[in-house]
Amino acid sequence: MPKQTIKLVSWNVNGYRAAMKKDFLDSIKALDADIFGLQETKLQEAQLTKAMKEIDGYQPAFSFSTVKKGYSGVAAYSRMTPRAVRNGLGIPRFDDEGRIVELEFDAFTFFNVYFPNGQMSDERLQYKLDFYEAFFEYTEALRKEGKSLIITGDFNTAHNEIDLKNPGPNSDRSGFLPIERQWIDRIVDMGYVDTFRHLYPETVKYSWWTYRFNARKNNAGWRIDYFFVTGDMIDRGWVKDAFIDNDIFGSDHCPVGLILEI
């Protein structure tokens, strides 16, 4: 059988309504992904417009925060029809913030996730760590069933010093704390592969820049948006390329992507 090439893109749009005013649809058309995930949509269901629900050629799926308006939220769009669509982990504490959309396909299960930010307080940092724990407990159960997994989104953690411009001054800031970085170590030790770093071990590229200090202009950024896959996908030769598209604007994040050949 001929192999199928599948392009996946992830983008934290930092407000879907704002992104729609900044050439979002043109950017999506240019990216030409088969599956794409958006994080931080900051929407309630009633605020979805026709343009958001009916992007030509795509089937949409959404998850919304039910505890706070204009907060969190994720969306996924696919040209391929999923066998199943799910939201959350079945744990209200985490599901109420609308952070997960799961699309199950024959060959793999795709997770679009907006992992929590831990900067606000010690309580939010603990929430973030607890979320990591619960999420990967959920995905490990799927792996034991023999599922191949793709986990993308804003992880809100830079893994190593190569992944941010100023590691020293940020070593005591949530997003680069040792306890957070150790979680990424744990994920890697469990057999999940950071596809960009796997393919480009020495490449310095970032996916997020603060709006302050002309950070994007000066490329003083962080790589906190990832595509992780289970190791079996690497072993099968399915992962062909990964990318970070610094040339697309409209958010404080840029799109990141993955090319599969299955």
Q: Which amino acid is at 143?
A: R
How many whole angstroms separate alpha carbon 91 and alpha carbon 155? 19
Burial (Cβ within 10 Å: 0-12, 13-18, ≥19) of residue 216: middle
Out of 16, 58, 114, 132, the active site residue is 114
Instruction: List the chain domain ranges.
Output: 5-261
Q: Is 156 annotated as a binding residue?
A: yes
DSSP bridge partners of 174 = none
* Phi, psi (degrees; rounded to nearest 5) at 35: -135, 130
Q: Is 97 annotated as a binding residue?
A: no
Q: Is 245 annotated as a binding residue?
A: no
Query: Quick one: pLDDT at residue 1?
Result: 75
How many whole angstroms separate alpha carbon 103 and alpha carbon 108? 9
Query: Quick one: pLDDT at residue 2?
Result: 83
Q: Is 154 annotated as a binding residue?
A: yes
> What are 73-122's pLDDT values in tens digits?
999 999 999 999 999 999 999 999 999 999 999 999 999 999 999 998 99
Is 253 designated active site? yes
> What are 123-174's pLDDT values in tens digits?
999 999 999 999 999 999 999 999 999 999 999 999 999 999 999 999 999 9
CATH 3.60.10.10 fits 5-261, yes or no: yes
How many whole angstroms separate alpha carbon 154 and alpha carbon 207? 9
Out of 58, 77, 132, 154, the active site residue is 154
Query: Quick one: pLDDT at residue 251?
Result: 98
The pTM of the whole model exceeds 0.85 = yes
Determine contact, residues 22/250, Cβ cutoff 8 Å: yes
Count Cβ neighbours within 10 Å for each residue of 124-160 and write b for 16 or more, e otherwise.
ebebbbebbeebbebbeebbeeeebbbbbbbbbbbbe
Q: Is 252 annotated as a binding residue?
A: yes
Q: Is 32 annotated as a binding residue?
A: no
Out of 95, 194, 206, 253, the active site residue is 253
Is 114 designated active site? yes
Contacts of 76 (CB under 8 A, 6+ apart): 35, 36, 37, 38, 60, 61, 62, 101, 103, 110, 112
